[in-house]
A = this chain, B = another copy of it.
Amino acid sequence: MVGKAILMVCDGLGDRQIKGKTPLQRARRPNMNALASKGITGLMHTIGQGITPGSDTAHLALFSYDPYTLYQGRGVYEALGAGLELEEGDIAFRCNFATVDYRMIVTDRRAGRISGVGPELAKELNGQKVDSTEIVFKATTEHRGVLVLRGEGLSRNVSDVDPHEAGMAVLKSKPLDGTMEAKRTSFILNRFTALSNEVLREHPINIEREKKEKPPANIVLARGAGAYSRLDTLQEKFGIKSACVAGGALYKGVARAVGMEVIDVKGATGTADTDLMAKASAAKSALSDCDFVFIHVKATDNFSHDGDVNGKIKMIEKIDKMVGYLMKTGAYIVLTGDHSTPCALKNHSADPLPIVIYGEGVRVDSVRKFDEIACMAGGLGHIRGLDVMPLILSYTGKSKIFGS
């Protein structure tokens, strides 16, 4: 395993002190502390000092892609994560099947969390054309889906139709700049939204649901426009073969955007019931063929958004067992998060993340615990998300000398 590395990202891992201690400090985490004791630690500002990262921009930075110049909008990563093949200039959105009444007021943003029927409903929309623009629509999990507008003269600078709140009317998408492309794209998106309602409200599945007094999935609400543009892959940039083990579509999507192979793991759900050991095992297998494996665990963030401190602590303790398993692979282990999500805020924050790098030759510092406070004294000091890949490449002998 010499020259190989695992980057393990626990979503929303960082937190703030609650009665003197952060959730990470409260968790029983013998393996994480062993990493800290035998590794080099520090604090990582994923984007920069005082900047609150989104999950998409955070992962781009961690993979060495400057989000200030290369971020394409969330829809792109959701569409890639859903397995769609995108073409240069595609405009992608994430979507919900939702329920609207006759006045176009959203009564349920998730159409009663429909399950199993999305793909059947999607058939009615996928492949349609609006004003010569091709509609690619794919249902994903439960009420979720992705929409791609494909054709000439489109722009990502359009506002959402999703009002983000029940009880509100469906919004008209508006151009966010003065270009013809933005005007046209918002026009097409509004036409698509109306079309989805026309087609879906009469669909037998929905007639059936209404009979059973379940909210019908009678509209598609899009949000988070992104414009696809191909990025240089990690292979092209650094000559490394890389793989992704993740449950959530967004993370798989960012991984695909940078050219990682996405490994499907049975039981990897992106929620608290995810099969962590299956993911760890899949990562270990991937190492035989890859130089670099990215593992993403989502549930720490879910608990944080719910303000569930104990849930977050228990999840960290589960992850700790996974860390113990991964330490035995012999690969370099880099453990960190993508952003802090303090339970007290129930939202992302700009607080930096603890980070540890463990493996042959790292300078062992005096830090013996893996948490937000102990790692303040770490030998890495304060680094940025964009520093993580160069560090991994240099430790694994995959980077070239600059100069001679």
Residues A50 and B377 in contact in the complex (CB < 8 Å), given A17-B364, A55-B404, A404-B74:
no
- A394 close to B349 (CB less than 8 A): yes
Cα A54 to Cα B399 with chains together (Å): 12
Contacting A67 at CB < 8 Å: which of B57, B58, B402?
B402
* Binary CB contact string for chain A from 138 to 177 against chain B (1 if under 8 A, 0 otherwise): 0000000000000000000000000000000000000000
User: In the complex this chain forms, how many copies of it are found?
Assistant: 2
Q: Are A376 and B365 in contact (CB under 8 A)?
A: yes
A178 close to B (CB within 8 Å)? no
A181 adjacent to chain B (CB < 8 Å): no
Cα distance A68–B49 when bound, in Å?
19
Interface string of A365-404 (1 = CB under 8 A from B): 1100000110011110111100101111110000111111
Residues B379 and A51 in contact, CB atoms below 8 Å apart: no
CB nearest neighbor in B for A376? B379
Q: Which of B53, B74, B381, B403 contacts A54 (CB 8 A)?
A: B403
Smallest CB separation, A404 vs chain B (Å): 4
Choose from B342, B348, B376 the contact partner of A401 (Cβ within 8 Å).
Answer: B348
- For the side of the interface on A, what is the size category? 35 or more
CA distance in complex: A52, B56 (Å) = 29
Residues on B with C-beta less than 8 A from A401 are 52-54, 348
A389 — which chain B residues lie within 8 A by C-beta?
50
Q: A376 — which chain B residues lie within 8 A by C-beta?
A: 363, 365-366, 378-379, 381
A399 to B350, CA, bound (A): 9
Contact at B394–A361, with CB atoms within 8 Å? no
| Pairwise interchain contact A399-B55, C-beta atoms closer than 8 A | no
Bound form: Cα–Cα A349–B224 in Å: 42
A383 CA to B49 CA, complexed, in Å: 8
Contact call A52/B402, Cβ cutoff below 8 A: yes
Bound Cα distance A51, B391 (Å): 8
- CB distance B399 to A363 under 8 Å? no
- Indicate the member of A344, A376, A377, A393 with the most B CB atoms within 10 Å: A376
Interfacial chain B residues near A284, Cβ < 8 Å: none
CB < 8 Å neighbour of A52 from B71, B382, B392, B400 = B400
| Cβ contacts under 8 Å, A372 to chain B | 363
Q: Please, which residues of chain B bring their CB within 8 A of the CB of A219?
A: none
Instruction: Check if B50 sits within 8 Å of A390, measured CB to CB.
Output: yes
Q: Is A90 an interface residue (CB 8 A)?
A: no
**A48 at the A/B interface (Cβ < 8 Å)?**
yes
Asked if B57 contacts A390 (CB within 8 A), the reply is: no
A404 touches B342 (CB 8 A): no
Q: How far is the CB of A152 from chain B (nearest CB, A)?
A: 27
Q: Give the shortest distance, in Å, between A296 (CB) and chain B (any CB).
A: 16
Q: Could you say which residues of chain B place their CB within 8 Å of the CB of A383? A: 49
Q: Which residues of B contact A373 (CB under 8 A)?
A: 363-366, 379
- 6 intermolecular pairs with C-beta atoms under 8 Å apart: A17-B364, A50-B387, A54-B404, A74-B403, A349-B361, A377-B377
**Complex A-B, nearest 4 residue pairs according to Cβ-Cβ distance, in ascending order:** A54-B403, A50-B390, A57-B403, A350-B394
**Measuring CB to CB, which residues of chain A are less than 8 angstroms from any residue of chain B?**
16-17, 20, 22, 43, 47-58, 67, 71, 74, 224, 342, 344-345, 348-351, 361-366, 372-373, 376-379, 381-384, 387, 389-394, 399-404
